[in-house]
């Protein structure tokens, strides 16, 4: 039993979809969240730059004595997780493997689609993770650079979101996938439009849900769950100003955010 | 007469529209360009963060012994130019005032529109600059956060670009402006769609053109023009990887980019 908090970081607000799921699955755990809002986004940047920023982010979380680091960003999980695991001793999980596992066990025709940022898609991280689990699965990928700005503009319910989704997803539809991994923490907010564009027979996999189950399993297996009677506090830190993070972040967390400080 | 280069910086590739104009107007001048591609974009970030990054960018240019600094980024010009001018002794110009001047002298009904990033628009910098020149001008503003990602995705000629432009520009159209300042260096690449959405009677002002004329005037007035027979070299530096900058940048510069290095 261990009452130290779980550390979670992302390039900005997107990782709050992971916080939201972890709060549901592990309601007693404390959370320290870091969003690198001064340098967001990561998804258009190089492996070297993303890794450099991520090392700094983990160092920040380590100063808050976290017992587990959850890399809530698909781009970081794709490009930098192996390096981070070699640099730090703390247990660390990313969003790629849990999403890949869930997709493989859900797909009936073994034709899996993956959407994400340019960096995530061109890294090939999901293909690698899926092929490790199931050699017969075929993976089809598509980067969707306009999805994040559409979500941040709050246009998720507008017809234009459906038009953009239709353009990006047309090639995946043609590949007759039956399972689609939402490989970016912003994408669950576009779930309705993505679902409409793909049709009702395609299952959408939300990485945030999957990594939260993984976090629970890891803590449980290592005897690190907080089994005290008390729920622990949640703290949020950002590298740019607090107000914009709160305004945007409440859409992702689907509840009020308090206790945000500038790191 | 002074053969030192002109320093130009931007948050990323957008400032290359300014480089392109300066190359045309001042073909003999050397240029050192810095694009902060590791931390791009600035337009969604706070004044404090944008100013901090900008000071570092000017320091970088100063190490290359530049005779003039052109702030090619509307966001930095809006939020941080006054501070930068106080910090550094080098002559420095931004894109706001030249654009404002041109708009005031072009408008016949004194109803001027301004579009830009969230940071540029909420700073009120264009309103201030215009009211200094002409107290009777009325200014109407609109931030257009999806324009930059649309340009970077290369969707400038697609119908979706027109749809997005129509949504953003509808309120400005209703205000019967006759002049519209394109207050972001990416927007000239959407000129056709913005023009189509606004209609043929609205004049579009391109800040890049205006600041280039200003650069020539400043150098001329201070005796800093390069009057030697030889044209000087152009050097490009970026904070993230070179290849993505070149690929995207050639669309903005409308010619091949060579001699790019990581800063």
Class of residue A179 by CB neighbours under 10 A (exposed 0-12, middle 13-18, buried 19+)? buried
Any CB–CB contact under 8 A between A240 and chain B? yes
Choose, out of A36, A45, A48, A118, the residue to mutate when testing the contact with B (most B CBs < 10 Å).
Answer: A45
CB A101 within 8 A of CB A130: no
Task: pLDDT band for A99, please (50, 70, 90 cuts).
Answer: very high
pLDDT in tens, B161-217: 999 999 999 999 999 999 999 999 999 999 999 999 999 999 999 989 999 999 999
Task: State the Cα–Cα distance between residues B204 and A150, nearest whole angstrom.
Answer: 26
> Region B111-130: what's the mean pLDDT?
98
Q: Which two tokens stand for residue B258?
A: 């060579």
Beta bridge partners of B111: B138
Choose, out of A38, A75, A163, A247, the residue to mutate when testing the contact with B (most B CBs < 10 Å).
Answer: A38
Contacts of B182 (CB under 8 A, 6+ apart): B115, B188, B191, B194, B204, B205, B206, B207
Contact B240 A37 (CB under 8 A): no
Any CB–CB contact under 8 A between A164 and chain B? yes
Query: What is the nearest CA distance from B64 to chain A, expressed in angstroms?
Result: 24
Contact B149 A149 (CB under 8 A): yes
pLDDT in tens, B11-37: 999 999 999 999 999 999 999 999 999
Partner A, chain B 179-238, Cβ-Cβ below 8 Å: none
Q: Tell me what pLDDT residue A1 has.
A: 79
Contact B153 A160 (CB under 8 A): no
Over pLDDT 90: what percentage of chain A?
96
B6-94+209-262 and B96-207 in the same fold = yes
Q: How many CB atoms lie within 10 A of CB B171?
A: 12
Cα torsion B106, B108, B114, B120 to 10°: value is 60
Any CB–CB contact under 8 A between A146 and chain B? yes
Any CB–CB contact under 8 A between B166 and chain A? no
Say if residue B50's pLDDT is above 90. Answer: yes
> What is the DSSP code string of B131-181?
HHH-TT-EEEEEE-TTHHHHHHHT-TTSHHHHHHHHHHHHHHHHTT-SEEE
Say if residue A246's pLDDT is above 90. Answer: yes
Contacting residues of A for B241, CB less than 8 Å apart: 45-46, 48-49
Task: State the Cα–Cα distance between residues B10 and B80, nearest whole angstrom.
Answer: 12
Q: Which two tokens stand for residue B71?
A: 């702030």
Any CB–CB contact under 8 A between A160 and chain B? yes
Q: Which two tokens stand for residue B253?
A: 């510069």
Any CB–CB contact under 8 A between A157 and chain B? no
Q: Which two tokens stand for residue B70?
A: 């052109």
Q: Tell me whether residue B144 is one of the annotated catalytic residues.
A: no
Contact B38 A44 (CB under 8 A): no
Distance of CA B107 to the CA centre of its chain: 21
- The partner residue sitting opposite B163, judged by closest CB among A45, A160, A244, is A160
Q: Which two tokens stand for residue A41?
A: 């986004």
pTM of the model: 0.95
> Region A36-43: what's the mean pLDDT?
97
> Region A174-194: what's the mean pLDDT?
97
Contacting residues of B for A146, CB less than 8 Å apart: 146, 149-150, 153, 155
Please provide residue B213's backbone torsions phi and psi, each rounded to the nearest 5 degrees. Answer: -65, -40
CATH architecture of the domain formed by A6-95+209-262: 3-Layer(aba) Sandwich (3.40)
Cis preceding linkage at A121, omega within 30? no
Task: State the Cα–Cα distance between residues A28 and A23, nearest whole angstrom.
Answer: 8
The correct CATH number of B6-94+209-262 out of 1.10.260.40, 3.40.50.1860, 3.40.50.720, 3.30.70.20 is: 3.40.50.1860
Closest CA to A50 of B17, B240, B120: B240
Domain locations in chain A as residue ranges: 6-95+209-262, 96-207
**A138-157 burial, b for 16+ CB within 10 Å, e for fewer?**
bbbbbbbbbbbbbbbbebbe
CATH architecture of the domain formed by A96-207: 3-Layer(aba) Sandwich (3.40)
Q: Tell me what pLDDT residue A30 has.
A: 97
Contacts of B14 (CB under 8 A, 6+ apart): B72, B73, B148, B184, B185, B186, B252
Any CB–CB contact under 8 A between B262 and chain A? no
Q: Tell me what pLDDT residue B113 has.
A: 98
Q: Tell me what pLDDT residue A156 has.
A: 96
Task: pLDDT band for B141, please (50, 70, 90 cuts).
Answer: very high
Contact A146 B150 (CB under 8 A): yes
Output DSSP code: residue A259: -
Known catalytic residues of A are 73, 184
Residue with token string 């020539």 = B216
> Region B77-82: what's the mean pLDDT?
98
pLDDT in tens, A72-84: 999 999 999 999 9
Task: pLDDT band for B81, please (50, 70, 90 cuts).
Answer: very high
Average pLDDT, chain A: 96
Any CB–CB contact under 8 A between A56 and chain B? no
Q: Tell me what pLDDT residue A147 has.
A: 98
Phi-psi region of A82 (alpha: psi -120 to 50; beta: other; left: phi over 0): alpha
> Region A14-43: what's the mean pLDDT?
97
Contacting residues of A for B145, CB less than 8 Å apart: 149, 152-153
Class of residue B55 by CB neighbours under 10 A (exposed 0-12, middle 13-18, buried 19+)? middle
- The partner residue sitting opposite B240, judged by closest CB among A38, A45, A152, is A45
Partner B, chain A 17-46, Cβ-Cβ below 8 Å: 37-40, 44-46
Q: Tell me what pLDDT residue A159 has.
A: 96
Average pLDDT, chain B: 96
Q: Tell me what pLDDT residue B162 has.
A: 98
Any CB–CB contact under 8 A between A143 and chain B? no
Contact A244 B152 (CB under 8 A): no
Contact B167 A160 (CB under 8 A): yes
pLDDT in tens, A211-245: 999 999 999 999 999 988 788 899 999 999 999 99
- The partner residue sitting opposite B146, judged by closest CB among A40, A153, A240, is A153
> Region B230-259: what's the mean pLDDT?
93
Contacts of A34 (CB under 8 A, 6+ apart): A7, A8, A9, A10, A57, A60, A61, A237, A238, A239, A263
Q: Counting one residue from A and one from B, how many pairs have CB atoms under 8 Å apart?
A: 59
Phi-psi region of A200 (alpha: psi -120 to 50; beta: other; left: phi over 0): alpha
Choose, out of B12, B160, B165, B166, the residue to mutate when testing the contact with A (most A CBs < 10 Å).
Answer: B160
Nearest CA in chain A to B239: A49
Task: pLDDT band for B228, please (50, 70, 90 cuts).
Answer: confident
Closest CA to B138 of B114, B168, B166, B165: B114
Output DSSP code: residue A3: -
Contacting residues of B for A155, CB less than 8 Å apart: 146
ipTM tops the 0.90 cut:
yes
Residue with token string 């990416």 = B186
Q: Which two tokens stand for residue B188?
A: 């000239």
Q: Tell me what pLDDT residue B1 has.
A: 79
Say if residue B229's pLDDT is above 80. Answer: no
Task: pLDDT band for A12, please (50, 70, 90 cuts).
Answer: very high
> Region A103-116: what's the mean pLDDT?
98
> Region A82-91: what's the mean pLDDT?
97
Query: What is the nearest CA distance from B16 to chain A, expressed in angstroms?
Result: 19
Q: Tell me what pLDDT residue B221 has.
A: 97
């Amino acid at each position: 039993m261990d009452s130290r908090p779980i550390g979670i970081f992302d390039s900005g607000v997107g990782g709050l979809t992971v916080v939201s799921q972890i709060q549901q699955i592990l309601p007693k755990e404390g959370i320290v969240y870091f969003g690198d809002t001064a340098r967001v986004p990561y998804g258009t940047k190089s492996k070297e730059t993303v890794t450099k920023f991520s090392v700094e982010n983990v160092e920040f979380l380590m100063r808050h004595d976290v017992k587990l680091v959850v890399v809530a960003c698909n781009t970081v999980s794709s490009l930098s997780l192996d390096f981070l695991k070699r640099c730090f001793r703390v247990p660390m999980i990313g969003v790629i493997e849990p999403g890949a596992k869930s997709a493989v066990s859900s797909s009936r025709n073994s034709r899996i689609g993956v959407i994400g940022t340019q960096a995530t898609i061109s890294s090939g991280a999901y293909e690698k993770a899926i092929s490790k689990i199931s050699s017969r699965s075929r993976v089809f990928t598509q980067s969707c650079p306009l999805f994040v700005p559409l979500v941040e503009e709050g246009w998720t319910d507008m017809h234009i979101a459906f038009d953009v989704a239709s353009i990006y997803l047309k090639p995946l539809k043609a590949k007759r996938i039956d399972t689609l991994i939402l490989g970016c923490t912003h994408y669950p907010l576009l779930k309705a439009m993505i679902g409409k564009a793909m049709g009702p027979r395609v299952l959408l996999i939300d990485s945030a849900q999957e990594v939260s189950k993984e976090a629970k399993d890891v803590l449980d297996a290592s005897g690190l769950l907080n089994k005290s009677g008390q729920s622990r506090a949640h703290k949020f830190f950002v590298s740019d100003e607090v107000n914009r993070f709160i305004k945007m972040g409440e859409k992702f967390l689907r509840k009020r955010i308090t206790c945000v400080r500038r790191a």
